[in-house]
Amino acid sequence: MDIKPENCKSREVYKLLTGIVVPRPIAFVSSKDKNGVHNLAPFSFYTAITSSPPIIMFAIGERGGTKKDTLNNIESQREFVINVVTEEIAAPMNDSSANFKSEVDEFKEVGLTGVPARKVDCLRVKESPIQLECELENVIPIGDHSHMVLGRVVHFHIEDEYYSGNFKINVEKLKPLARVSGPNYAKLNDFFSLEKSFNSKKIID
């Protein structure tokens, strides 16, 4: 099968990419608008960019040619929180992706508990065991209808039972949820390790 993107509609390319680039972590983003209304929304075009300084990235597509509430909030308030999605909060996370009106508080709508962040002025999800408080670094328009949000992590919240020491996370215990395609998600519960098999004489110290 050979497919040329230029011969496809945007939605068709989206379906290809979300079925090929898998699994994807989920940025469960909490933000607040200028009137104090709290917002929750999941985004699976998400990754870490660099550790010095700690920068994460996620992309927000427009809906019907209009910016989503999350992007409007982040651009106006310049801060947000990324909450790690585990199997236990899969359902409310998925429910939060509905197209709620701007004046709706998604925390209340999907039944999750908002608790104050420490460094930024918005809520984090209590039911999420790890949260990243972020200040906006930059918003970069990408393509016809997407925006790449770069956030600088200014505070980490990690529940003790998921911290293995030496700045390592117990991912097996965390059981983070991954996005696949369409309505499909994946559980990450089968791990294995690999050692490098190169001839040591060919490797630069």
Q: Which CATH superfamily is domain 5-202 in?
A: Electron Transport, Fmn-binding Protein; Chain A (2.30.110.10)
Q: Where are the domains of the chain?
A: 5-202
Q: Cα-Cα-Cα-Cα dihedral of 177, 158, 47, 168, to 10°? A: -100
What pLDDT sits at residue 203?
A: 67
Instruction: Please report the pLDDT score of residue 157 as a whole number.
Output: 98
User: How much is the pLDDT for 144?
Assistant: 86
pLDDT at 171: 94
pLDDT along the chain (205 residues), means of 10: 94 94 97 96 97 98 90 98 97 95 94 98 98 98 94 98 97 95 91 80 65
pLDDT at 190: 86
Alpha-carbon dihedral angle through residues 136, 164, 176, 38, given to the nearest 10 degrees: -40
3 state SS for 92-144: HHHHCCCCCCCCCCHHHHHCCCEEECCCCCCEEECCCCEEEEEEEEEEEEECC
Phi, psi of 145, deg, nearest 5: -155, 35
Q: Cβ contacts of residue 69 below 8 Å, gap of 6+?
A: 31, 33, 39, 41, 100, 102
